[in-house]
Amino acid sequence: MSQKSGSLGRYFVIRLAMAVPMVLILLTLVFFMLRVAPGDPVTASAGGAKMTAEQIAAKRHAAGFDRPLINQYGEYLGNVVKGDFGTTISDHRKVTDIIVENGGATLTLALAALFVALVVGLPLGLLAGRYRDTGFDVAIRLFGIVTYAAPAFVLGALAQIVFVKKLGWLDDSSLQASPLIQASVPTKSHILIVDAAMAGDWNAVHNIFLHLILPSVTLGLIIVGVFIRMVRVNLIQTLRGDYVEAARARGIREHKVVTKHAFRNALIPVITVIGMQVALLLGGSVLTEKTFSWPGLGNQLINYLNARDYIAVQGIVTFIAVVVIVIGILIDFVNALIDPRVRY
């Protein structure tokens, strides 16, 4: 925390420069990890076909697998810089197409889940912190711990049993929308709910929204425990701060002290927490997507892993990791904007 310079611009540049080696290491790790793994991407992606030796050679050549690893690596890096993640071996899709076509579903799910986590987690965390050590606190903390302990697929299965099978509220909980609705929405942004809104089809928006509820609540609950915990701890610690003491000493009512002074300060670090949750959110989305047949990147990743489609796996994994890193930078930047102490 040296105070050498308070320039926001400089901070941003440094933070960005620091991300470059991280991204590079990441690309390297992903590339080599997948190359070391057993199994041959060429024959694997051919399903059960028995290929002739020439075909295998042709395919290896096409995919560049017949060249020295280091050349492949160099070329891969070069292509990634150009925004080209390659074309999948198993079904000839451009990885960028996968990201565009399926990323929308994951983005929708992740944002909705984050929203759920915030809406549920912040008030509960504040309540728990405010009424520390009361029954409230205990119940809320336990809720947070239990939802954290339950894997996404357990929560998902539970949600399906309760809301779909028993209560019959959301009768189709999988997919992004009813098939006919989805078919009717013209594709523009590849984010279904946005496309529907752009087309002014509110009926479709409604339908898509209904489909989103269960998956996003499931995923949201996974991270809600983290929010509760953070907000609670922050509030408790803020309540011990000098200025809170000072406010109390001035005779300001406890209620006002808490709402006026403590809440705001307790919530600021939440931005950081959101940033840290992105990785958890994207990891959890793999399980959630699978449980709800949600057509996002996580589901695609599982498919391509099963097909041993290295190009696809490499591309999707790299993309997800870069997203995590970029969001980390943005969060740090926002933090620096808010809190001038966080600078170099």
Partner 1 sequence: MARTKRVIAAATVGILAASMAACSSDDGSGKGNGGNPSGGAGGGGTVILGTTDKVGSLDPAAAYDLPSWTIIRNTFQKLYRFPEGSTTAVPDAAQKCDFPDPKTYSCTLKPGQTFSDGTPLTAKDVKFSFERMLKINDPNGPAPLLGSMDTVDAPDDNTVVFHLKNADVTFASVVASEVGAIVPSSGKYPLDKLADNSTLLGSGAYKLAKYTPGQQAVFELNDKYKGDIKPANGKFLIQYFTESSALKQAIENGTVDVAVTGLSPTDITDLRGKSSQGIKVIDGIGSTIRFMTFNVKSAPVDNKAVRQAIAQTVDRESMIKQAYNGTVDPLYSLVANGFAGHADAFKDKYGAPSKDKAKAILDAAGVKTPVDLTLWYNPGHYGATTADEYTEIKRQLDASGLFKVNLQTTEWEAYKKSFAAGEYAAWGAGWQPDFPDSDNYIEPFLRPDGTFHVNYDNPAAKALIEKERTSADPAARNAAFAEAQKIAADDVPYIPLWQGKQVAVTRPGVEGVDKTLDVSVLVSFWVISKK
Partner 2 sequence: MTSMQTTPPVTTVAPSAARSKGRRFSGPRQTLGLIREAHGIGKFMLWSGIVLSTLFVLTALLAPWISPYDFDTYQDGGERFPKLGEPSGTNTFGTTVQSLDVLSRVIWGARTALEVMVLAVVFSLIVGVLLGLVSGFFGGWLDRILVLIMDTLFAFPYLLLAIVAAFMFQGLPGGGVLTTAIAITVVYIPQYFRVVRASTLSAREAMYVEAARAIGAKPGTIMRRYIFGNVIQSVPVITTVNAADALSTLAGLGFLGFGIQPTEAAEWGYDVSRALTDINADIWWTATFPCVAIVLAILGFTLLGEGLNDVLNPTMRRRKISKVIIPALTKPRTVVTVAAVPAQADAPAAESTETEAEPAAADGAESTETAETAETAGSEQPQEEGK
- Within residues 105-124, the interface with partner 1 by CB under 8 A covers none
List the interface residues with partner 2, window 156-185 (CB under 8 A).
157-158, 160-161, 165
Q: From the list 94, 163, 322, 331, which residue makes contact with partner 1 (rule: CB under 8 A)?
A: 94
The radius of gyration of the chain's CA atoms, rounded to the nearest angstrom, is 24
The site map against partner 1 for 197-236 (x = CB under 8 A) is ----x-xx-xx-----------------------------
Which of 77, 175, 194, 280 touches partner 1 (CB under 8 A)? 175
User: From residue 227, how far is each of 77, 171, 297 by CA, in Å?
Assistant: 37, 30, 25
- Between residues 185 and 299, which has the closer beta carbon with respect to partner 2? 299
∠ CA 229-234-237, nearest 5°, is 125
Return the one option of partner 1, partner 2, none that residue 53 interacts with (CB less than 5 to 8 A, by type).
Answer: none
Of residues 182-221, which lie at the interface with partner 2 (CB under 8 A)? none
Q: Count residues contacting partner 2 (CB under 8 A)?
A: 84
The residues near 129 (Cβ < 8 Å, ≥ 6 apart) are 137, 231, 232, 233, 234, 235, 236, 239, 266
Tokens of 192: 């279904």
From candidates 63, 221, 224, 230, binder to partner 2 by CB under 8 A: 230
Which one, 176 or 318, has the nearer CB to partner 2? 318
For residue 189, state whether it binds partner 1 (rule: CB under 8 A): no
- State how far the Cα of 128 lies from the Cα of 141, in Å rounded to an integer: 7
**HEC profile of 200-241:** CCHHHHHHHHHHHHHHHHHHHHHHHHHHHHHHHHHHHHHCCC
Kindly tell me which residue out of 11, 86, 93, 144 binds partner 1, with binding defined by CB under 8 A.
93
Cα(98)–Cα(87) distance, integer angstroms:
10
By CB under 8 A, residue 253 contacts partner 2: yes
181 contact choice in partner 2, partner 1, none (CB below 5 to 8 Å, kind-dependent): partner 1
Helix (H) or strand (E) holding 247: helix 242-249
Which residues bind to partner 1, rule: CB under 8 A? 38-40, 42-52, 54-56, 58-59, 90-94, 97-98, 101-102, 160, 164, 171-176, 178-185, 187, 201, 203-204, 206-207, 289-293, 295, 299-300, 302-303, 306-308
